[in-house]
Amino acid sequence: MEQKTMDPAQWYDQNKTLYEQFSKEVEEIITKILKAQSIPYQSVSHRVKEKESYLNKCNKEKYADPIEQITDVSGIRIIAYTNQDVARICEILQDEFIVDEGNSGNKADMLETDKVGYLSVHYIIQLNEKRLGLSEYKLFENLKCEVQVRTLLQHAWAEIEHDRNYKFSGVLPKEIKRRFYLVAGVLELMDNEFDKLSRDIDTYEKSMQKAVSKGDYNLGIDSKSVEQYVLRKFDGVENVRPCYDKTIVTDKVVEELVRFGYKTIQELDDDINSCENICEYKDTYIGLLRNLMMIKDCRKYFEEAFYGNWGSIDRSCLIFLRENGAEDIDKYIGKYRIDIEDDEIEEE
């Protein structure tokens, strides 16, 4: 069947289902890769261009052969959190797919230096030979898909501008349009600042790792410093483990440490060293820190740090706390109506 002589409406009706399948497969491939490489993202979604939109595009003068030239019938949108994440996602797309460089580009490169507006990276991609070698992907050979990659703030601007500007039946008044672009400028500044904050947090985390590895515990109490400390302190200790979801510490337990009175990691380390039996009870990092505070000063923990952050305790943990000096633990268990649960028997 010759696509060049086929009516675009007829072609669309015959191929829509295929492009819907293609869009879903590309979305799944991208999602799996992002998860495998631990790249944070807000969403990955797919769409197939509506028939009316497709036919309207076919009627544009620049398309002599719309069936061959229009490459965004299938579309994927990836929304990331920072520009740094966008850059990493773009590298993945270039590595994992065949990219049509002539029809791909960064919208930011198209803006003059004194202009602000719609920002997004657009790729036109195809499945590579490796994937097309698999039988389940063979039917997608030669199909192209548009992939948009943008930050959450860029997406917010694009949606507002598209609905309120592009679809406005006429030219917007100059003052309103000016305010639109002022907002775009502010969002771009915010995006850049979020990107810088993200890099600064990464740098700070690395500095915590370096300090803790050298035994420098003169660090303030925060999520990063506490996490790096417990990972090093209890490295190789079988009785101490992450939570089931791999969480090491939470904001809540760090806030409890601060309310309890800890100001530095050194103070926390001193108390852990003075509590000889703290690792005898099998628990999470979070549970160990709470056990420490209850053993050091049960009244202070419940009256100043607890804030109702947990509501149950294993019976074996309660016995451990009683035996290790958590005075009045039973009084506070009753006062705050904390459930006592029988321990689950672990399989060998």
Domains and CATH numbers, the chain: 3-170 (3.30.460.10), 215-341 (no CATH)
pLDDT above 60 (res 167): no
State the average pLDDT over residues 257-284. 96
What pLDDT sits at residue 174?
82
Position with higher pLDDT, 284 vs 62:
284
Residue 42 phi, psi dihedral angles, 5° rounding: -85, -40
Task: Specify the residue for token string 């890769």.
Answer: 33
pLDDT in tens, 144-155: 999 999 998 888
The residue count of the chain comes to 348
C-beta neighbour count of 172 within 10 angstroms: 13
Radius of gyration for the alpha carbons in the chain, expressed in angstroms and rounded: 29
Q: What is the pTM of this model?
A: 0.65
What pLDDT sits at residue 347?
44
Q: Mean pLDDT, the chain, as a whole number?
A: 88
pLDDT in tens, 94-136: 999 999 988 887 654 444 444 444 467 899 999 999 999 999 9
Residue 105 phi, psi dihedral angles, 5° rounding: 175, 170
pLDDT in tens, 250-266: 999 999 999 999 999 99
Pairing of strands 121-127, 105-106: antiparallel
pLDDT above 90 (res 162): no
Q: Return the H-helix or E-strand segment holding 241.
A: strand 240-241
Pairing of strands 283-284, 240-241: parallel
* Two structure tokens written together for 241: 């483990």
What pLDDT sits at residue 192?
85
- 98, 44 contact by CB (below 8 A): no
What pLDDT sits at residue 64?
86
Residue 50 phi, psi dihedral angles, 5° rounding: -65, 150
Q: For a pLDDT cut of 90, what percent of the chain falls above it?
A: 67
Task: Specify the residue for token string 């035996």.
Answer: 323
- The percent of the chain in helix, strand and coil, each rounded to the nearest 5, is 55, 15, 30
Alpha-carbon distance of 19 to 116, in angstroms, equals: 34
What pLDDT sits at residue 103?
85
Among 274, 198, 197, 273, residue whose Cα is nearest residue 229: 273
Position with higher pLDDT, 336 vs 345:
336
- 44, 149 contact by CB (below 8 A): no
Alpha-carbon distance of 223 to 230, in angstroms, equals: 11
Alpha-carbon distance of 180 to 254, in angstroms, equals: 42
C-beta neighbour count of 128 within 10 angstroms: 14
What pLDDT sits at residue 106?
66
Alpha-carbon distance of 224 to 206, in angstroms, equals: 9
Residue 159 phi, psi dihedral angles, 5° rounding: -65, -45
Among 297, 285, 284, 286, residue whose Cα is nearest residue 332: 297
Residues 141, 8, 132, CA angle at the centre, nearest 5°? 5
Q: For a pLDDT cut of 70, what percent of the chain falls above it?
A: 90
Q: Three-class SS of residue 248? A: coil
What pLDDT sits at residue 107?
55
What pLDDT sits at residue 166?
52
- Under the banding of pLDDT at 50, 70 and 90, the label for residue 170 is low
- Under the banding of pLDDT at 50, 70 and 90, the label for residue 180 is confident
Among 104, 102, 96, residue whose Cα is nearest residue 146: 104
pLDDT in tens, 191-244: 888 888 888 988 998 998 899 989 999 999 999 999 999 999 999 999 999 999
- 321, 291 contact by CB (below 8 A): yes
State the average pLDDT over residues 54-62. 89
Maximal C-alpha separation, the chain: 87
What pLDDT sits at residue 183?
78
Among 204, 230, 234, residue whose Cα is nearest residue 217: 230
Q: Three-class SS of residue 6? A: coil
- Under the banding of pLDDT at 50, 70 and 90, the label for residue 159 is confident
